[in-house]
C-alpha cells in the first residue's frame, strides 16, 4: 500500500465535501459526520474538539457546519458505537499461526511457553501494535488486556490512540519470590500508566487464574485493586479440570474460592466462565462481577462446554465479548465473535431464540463499556466519541432486516470503513496511516522470535 | 455503485498490464493470470478459450503471452480453486432476515411455510440470482441446490455463469396425487435442463427427507435417478426427532431406511447427517454416499449435535461443506463455513487437532467437486478453470502461516477479489457487472412477497 497515494485519494474527498482541508488523522479537531444511519435514521453526528459527541440529529450538521474542523461524508453508511474487546492478550498476535491445531500439552509445553520465554519487551510492543492495528481495522475502539511486559502493551496502545485497560498479568505458582516480584512490578506499572495522564489508558491487575496464582497472591491482588482503585482481570472456569482441581484442593468451586480470596468486585472482569454452575452465576451477580464471553477461543481450544448465558443473564450478570489472544482465535474481529456467540449459545443450549442480533451487538458494545466503566457505548450527546462507520461488503437488498442482523449473521471486520476513538479518526476508508510500518516491524519481530525459539 | 465508472477503472488496468483491451466479463476468451501465488509459489495460470487450464508454472506467462485474449495481473494475490457449496436452497435469500431467532414451530408454521406458499416462479428466479451474486462475491463457483420451481433456479444459475447441480425438490407426504405430480414435474425438469445443453448445469432429483417423502416416493426417486443417470439430494438425520420417529415407524435408523429404499448411491449427497451413528457412517461409505456438512445452519437451528466428522472420515466418506438456505445461516460464505466447521468439530468432539486449515479448505473445494463429479477443484493443467483470487483484508505479517490458515481462521468472503468459473470472469476486483440490477430486482420481489404474506 502506498501511503502517499492513499492520502491523496482520501483527502480531496474530504475537502470537496466540506470545502476544508487538513489531515483528519492528525490531532484532535472537531468533526462532523454527515448523513449516516444512526439508530435506523439518517442523521449527522457532531463531535467537539474534546472528543465528546456534542449533537446527534437531522439538524446537527446545519447547527455545527461553521465550526467543524473536518467533515466526513459517507452517505448511508451505518454509524455504530465502537466495539469493546473484553478479553485479549494483544501481544500474542506475534505467535498467530505458529502453533494451531495441536493437543493442549504439546501446544503449551512445546510451543507457547518456549516462545513466550524468548519474547522481549520490544516483541510485546510490536505485537500489541499489530493487534491494535487489527482492532482498528475491525472496528474495536477499546480493549481489555492481560500479559507480561504490560508497560509495553500500555505504551503501544497509547501510541495507537485506542482505549484500553491493561492488566499487569502475573502468576506466582505459590512461590513467595515470584509474588514479591509481581507486587513490585505491579506497583511500578500502575505508577507508569498514571504518569501517562492519558484518559484512554487505565491500569489493572491480572492474577492469571486460580491454578497459577496462590491464595496469598489472589488476596494481595484483591487488596491492591481496592487500594489503587483499579480493576481485576482473571480467567475463570475455562476448563472442567479447573473446577475439579479446585473442588479437591479447596472443597469449593472456583467462583466461591475467588470470592473467599477477595478477588470478586464490581471492577472485576472474569474471562470464559464456561464451566460455572447456576449458584456461581448468582454469586458473580451478587459481587457485581462482569463476564467476558470468548466463544471462538472456547471452540478452538475445545473446552467442550459453553458459557451459560441464560443463567448469567437471569442472575443479572453483565456479559460482554472477547476474542482472547491470537493463538486461541486467531483474530480480533468482534463482528465474528458476535456471530459465534449467538450460534454457539443457540446450539449448545438447544434454543433458537437465544442471543438475537440486537442483544449480540449490545454485548459487543455497551456491555463492554459498562464492564470497563467507560463513557462510551452509545451514540448520543454527552458520550465520548468512540464511533465506527460500516458499509456492507455483501449485497443488502431491501427489506434489509436490521443493521444488527446484517452484522451478526453476515458481516465481517472488513465491512468497517472508518474507526473513531475519543473523537480522533484512527481509520478512514480502511486506511490507517501507520499500517505498513507496523506490519513491517511485526514481521521482523515474529521472524526473529521464531528463529530464537527454534534455534534452542 | 456506478457501473460505467467501475468498468473504466478496471479496464485500463487490464489494458495497461498487457497492451490489450476488451471486456473481460464478456464471452469466453483465453486468459492469462499472471504472477499469483499457486500452492505456495508465484506462478502464471493460462486458461484457454475453452475454459480449460492449459498451463500453470513460472513460465506459463512467457509461453502463452502472445495468445492470451485477456491478462489479469494481480501480483501476489492467492489463486485457489473456487468453492463448492454442497447444500443450499438458493431462492431463500429472498426471505433472509424475515424470520430469525424464533422457535422451530413458529418459524416454520407462522413464517416460512406461509411465505413459501406465496412465492412465484419469478421470485425463485430473482432469489436465485441474488444468491448466485453472493456466491460469486464470496468465491463460490459451483453449488448444489434443492427447491421448488427448480426450472427457475436452473435458468437463473445458467444466466449467472455459475456451475450448479439443481435438484428438483419434492415431498409427497404419502399422497399419491402429489407423488404423481412430482414424477411429471421431475421428468419435465430433467428434459428442460438437458435442452440447455450447458456443461455447467446438471439436473438432479431432491426427495426432501424421510419425514416428508413416502416409501414409494423414495423408491421412485432412486429408480428415476438410476434411469436418468442423475444425482440425488436429500436431507438426512438433521434432528434427533428424525431418528426417533424413523426408529418407531420403520424399526431402523434413517440411513438404513434410505438404503432399503434404494436412495443411497455414489451420486447421492446427504445434507447434515448430524445424528448418524457409527454403523450408519460405515453404511454411507459402503454406498459411496457424499455428505454435506452445514455447521452454521446446525448451530442457528439448534440441532444440538455435530455431524461426526471423525467417524465419517474413518469410514471413508467424502465430506464437503454447505451453507444451507439463507433463512438458516444467513449467508453463503464458504470461508466462514470452513471456520465454523473446524471450530464446531474441535469443540463438540473435544479434540483441538480436528479439521486443521488444509483439511477444511479441501472440504470447501476438492471434496465438493468430487461429490458433484466436477472436473474442477484443483489448479493444474487439464482441470476446468474454476479459480478465485484472494487478497487478504487483514494485515498479514510474515511469517504468515499458511494461506489456508489465514482463510480458515481469519478470512471472510470479502477477501475474494476475482471469481472465474469455467474460464469466464464473473467478478474482477469485486465488481460483478449485473450487481445493481440483481439487487434492485430482489429488493422489489422480497418487498412484494412479504406484503403478500402479511396481507393474508
CA–CA gap between residue A279 and residue A176 (Å, rounded): 33
CB contact under 8 A, A352 and B303: no
ipTM of the complex: 0.94
Residue to mutate among A106, A352, A404, with most B CBs inside 10 A, is: A352
Q: At what angle do helices A176-196 and A150-160 cross, to 10 degrees?
A: 20
Q: With beta carbons under 8 A apart, name residues in chain B contacting A346.
A: 299-302
Domain boundaries, position B173: 83-372
Question: Residue holding cell 485479549?
Answer: A88
Do B117 and B266 belong to one domain? Answer: yes
CA–CA gap between residue A144 and residue A368 (Å, rounded): 9
Lowest mean pLDDT among A80-89, A270-279, B397-406: B397-406
How many alpha carbons fall within 13 Å on the CB side of residue B51?
Answer: 19
Cis peptide before A399 (omega within 30 of 0): yes
CA–CA gap between residue A338 and residue A344 (Å, rounded): 10
CB-based burial label for B27 (10 Å; 0-12, 13-18, 19+) = exposed
- Tally of domains within chain A: 1
Nearest to A369 by CA among A290, A300, A445: A290
User: What residues of chain B, 396 to 415, have a C-beta less than 8 Å from chain A?
Assistant: 396-402, 405-406, 409-410, 412-415
CB contact under 8 A, A102 and B353: yes
pLDDT at A23: 80
Q: Give the nearest chain A residue to B448 (CA atoms).
A: A399
C-alpha cell at A43: 442523521
Instruction: Tell me whether residue B136 is in a domain.
Output: yes
Do B313 and B292 belong to one domain? Answer: yes
- Out of B138, B348, B450, the one facing A399 most closely (by C-beta) is B450
Instruction: Tell me whether residue B439 is in a domain.
Output: no
Q: Give the nearest chain A residue to B330 (CA atoms).
A: A409
DSSP reduced 3-state for A159:
helix
Nearest to A305 by CA among A340, A349, A338, A274: A274
Question: Under a CB-based contact definition with an 8 Å cutoff, are residues A240 and A305 in contact?
Answer: yes
In this prediction, residue A16 has a pLDDT band, given cuts at 50, 70 and 90, of very low
Instruction: Tell me whether residue A256 is in a domain.
Output: yes
Q: Give the nearest chain A residue to B441 (CA atoms).
A: A397
Instruction: Tell me whether residue A354 is in a domain.
Output: yes
Q: Give the nearest chain B residue to A405 (CA atoms).
A: B97
CA distances for A7 relative to A72, A135, A181, A333, B5, angstroms:
14, 21, 47, 25, 21
DSSP calls for A371-407: HHT-S-SS-STTSB--EEEE--SS--PSS---HHHHH
Taking only the tens of pLDDT, chain B with its 456 residues reads 345 555 555 554 444 444 455 688 877 789 999 999 999 899 999 999 999 999 999 876 666 555 788 989 889 899 999 999 999 999 999 999 998 999 988 998 999 999 999 999 999 999 999 999 999 999 999 999 999 999 999 999 999 999 999 999 999 999 999 999 999 999 999 999 999 999 999 999 999 999 999 999 999 999 999 999 999 999 999 999 999 999 999 999 999 999 999 999 999 999 999 999 999 999 999 999 999 999 999 999 999 899 999 999 999 999 999 999 999 999 999 999 999 999 999 999 999 999 999 999 999 999 999 999 999 999 999 999 999 999 999 988 877 678 999 999 999 999 999 999 999 999 999 999 999 999 999 999 999 999 999 887
CB contact under 8 A, A395 and B102: no
Tell me, what DSSP letter sits at residue A67?
T
pLDDT at B16: 44
Nearest to A323 by CA among A345, A347, A295: A295
Interchain contact B293–A (C-beta under 8 A)? no
List the CATH number of the domain containing A103. Answer: 3.20.20.140
CA–CA gap between residue B298 and residue B295 (Å, rounded): 5
Instruction: Tell me whether residue A407 is in a domain.
Output: no
Q: With beta carbons under 8 A apart, name residues in chain B contacting A438.
A: 395
Question: Under a CB-based contact definition with an 8 Å cutoff, are residues B109 and B392 in contact?
Answer: no
Rg (CA), chain A: 22
Instruction: Tell me whether residue B40 is in a domain.
Output: yes
pLDDT at B396: 87
Element housing A206 (H / E): strand A201-207
Do B220 and B185 belong to one domain? Answer: yes
Nearest to B14 by CA among B436, B382, B434, B431: B431
CB-based burial label for B197 (10 Å; 0-12, 13-18, 19+) = exposed
- Out of A302, A331, A447, the one facing B350 most closely (by C-beta) is A302
* Triad A222, A216, A165: Cα angle to 5°: 35
CA distances for A398 relative to A401, B52, B73, B351, B444, angstroms:
8, 39, 35, 42, 8
CA–CA gap between residue B356 and residue B343 (Å, rounded): 9
Instruction: Tell me whether residue B237 is in a domain.
Output: yes
Instruction: Tell me whether residue A143 is in a domain.
Output: yes
User: What residues of chain A, 140 to 199, have a C-beta less than 8 Å from chain B?
Assistant: none
Phi, psi (degrees; rounded to nearest 5) at B381 = -55, 135
**How distant is the Cα of A63 from the closest Cα of chain B, in angstroms?**
31
Nearest to A165 by CA among A147, A182, A179: A147
User: What residues of chain B, 89 to 108, have a C-beta less than 8 Å from chain A?
Assistant: 96-98, 100-104, 107
Nearest to B94 by CA among B153, B169, B29: B153
Residue to mutate among B108, B129, B306, B343, with most A CBs inside 10 A, is: B343
Nearest to A9 by CA among A428, A454, A452: A428
**How distant is the Cα of A409 from the closest Cα of chain B, in angstroms?**
6
List the CATH number of the domain containing B386. Answer: 2.30.40.10
Q: With beta carbons under 8 A apart, name residues in chain B contacting A349.
A: 302
Q: Give the nearest chain B residue to A137 (CA atoms).
A: B394
Question: Under a CB-based contact definition with an 8 Å cutoff, are residues A144 and A370 in contact?
Answer: no
Q: Where are the alpha helices (H) located in A106-212, listed in sequence order?
A: 113-117, 121-137, 150-160, 176-196
DSSP calls for A420-440: EETTEEEEBTTB-TTHHHHHH
Nearest to B209 by CA among B238, B168, B250: B238
User: What residues of chain A, 308 to 367, have a C-beta less than 8 Å from chain B?
Assistant: 329-331, 333, 336, 340, 342-344, 346-354, 356-357
Examine the fold and report which residue of B356, B372, B388 is the final residue of a domain before the chain moves on: B372
CA–CA gap between residue A423 and residue A26 (Å, rounded): 11
> CB under 8 Å to B75, separation ≥6 — which residues?
B34, B35, B36, B42
- Encode pLDDT of B73-132 as tens digits: 889 899 999 999 999 999 999 999 998 999 988 998 999 999 999 999 999 999 999 999
Amino acid at each position: 500500500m502506498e501511503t502517499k497515494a492513499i492520502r491523496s485519494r482520501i483527502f480531496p474527498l474530504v475537502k470537496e465535501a466540506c470545502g476544508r482541508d487538513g489531515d483528519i488523522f492528525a490531532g484532535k479537531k472537531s468533526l462532523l459526520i454527515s448523513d449516516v444511519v444512526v439508530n435506523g435514521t439518517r442523521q449527522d453526528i457532531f463531535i467537539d474538539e474534546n472528543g465528546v459527541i456534542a449533537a446527534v440529529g437531522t439538524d446537527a450538521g446545519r447547527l455545527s457546519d461553521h465550526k467543524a474542523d473536518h467533515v466526513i461524508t459517507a452517505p448511508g453508511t451505518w454509524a455504530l458505537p465502537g466495539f469493546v474487546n473484553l478479553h485479549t492478550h494483544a501481544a500474542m498476535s506475534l505467535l498467530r499461526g505458529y502453533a494451531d491445531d495441536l493437543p493442549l500439552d504439546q501446544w503449551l509445553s512445546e510451543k507457547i511457553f518456549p516462545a513466550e520465554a524468548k519474547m522481549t519487551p520490544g516483541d510485546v510492543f510490536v505485537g500489541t501494535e499489530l493487534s491494535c492495528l487489527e482492532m482498528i481495522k475491525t472496528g474495536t475502539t477499546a480493549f481489555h488486556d492481560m500479559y507480561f511486559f504490560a508497560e509495553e502493551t500500555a505504551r503501544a496502545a497509547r501510541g495507537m490512540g485506542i482505549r484500553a485497560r491493561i492488566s499487569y498479568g502475573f502468576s506466582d505458582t505459590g512461590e513467595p519470590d515470584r509474588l514479591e516480584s509481581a507486587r513490585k512490578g505491579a506497583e511500578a506499572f500502575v505508577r507508569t500508566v498514571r504518569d501517562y495522564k492519558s484518559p484512554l489508558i487505565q491500569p489493572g491487575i491480572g492474577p492469571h487464574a486460580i491454578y497459577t496464582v496462590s491464595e496469598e497472591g489472589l488476596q494481595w491482588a484483591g487488596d491492591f485493586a481496592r487500594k489503587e482503585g483499579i480493576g481485576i482481570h482473571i480467567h475463570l472456569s475455562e476448563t472442567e479440570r479447573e473446577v475439579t482441581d479446585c473442588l479437591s484442593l479447596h472443597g469449593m468451586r472456583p467462583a466461591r474460592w475467588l470470592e473467599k480470596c477477595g478477588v470478586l468486585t464490581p471492577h472485576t472482569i472474569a474471562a470464559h466462565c464456561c464451566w460455572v454452575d447456576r449458584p456461581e452465576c448468582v454469586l458473580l451477580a451478587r459481587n457485581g462481577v462482569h463476564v467476558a464471553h470468548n466463544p471462538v477461543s472456547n471452540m478452538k481450544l475445545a473446552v467442550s462446554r459453553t458459557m451459560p448465558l441464560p443463567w448469567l443473564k437471569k442472575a443479572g450478570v453483565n456479559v460482554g465479548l472477547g476474542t482472547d489472544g491470537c493463538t486461541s482465535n486467531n483474530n480480533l474481529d468482534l463482528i465474528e465473535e458476535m456471530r459465534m456467540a449467538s450460534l454457539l449459545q443457540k446450539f449448545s443450549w438447544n434454543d433458537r431464540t437465544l442471543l438475537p442480533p440486537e442483544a449480540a451487538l449490545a454485548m459487543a458494545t455497551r456491555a463492554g463499556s459498562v464492564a470497563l466503566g467507560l463513557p462510551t457505548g452509545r451514540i448520543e450527546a454527552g458520550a465520548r466519541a468512540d464511533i465506527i462507520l460500516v458499509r456492507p461488503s455483501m449485497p443488502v437488498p431491501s427489506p434489509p432486516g436490521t443493521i444488527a442482523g446484517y452484522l451478526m449473521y453476515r458481516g465481517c471486520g472488513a465491512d468497517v470503513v472508518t474507526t473513531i476513538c475519543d473523537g480522533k479518526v484512527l481509520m478512514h476508508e480502511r486506511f490507517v496511516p501507520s499500517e505498513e510500518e507496523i506490519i513491517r516491524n511485526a514481521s521482523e519481530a515474529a521472524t526473529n522470535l521464531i528463529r530464537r525459539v527454534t534455534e534452542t
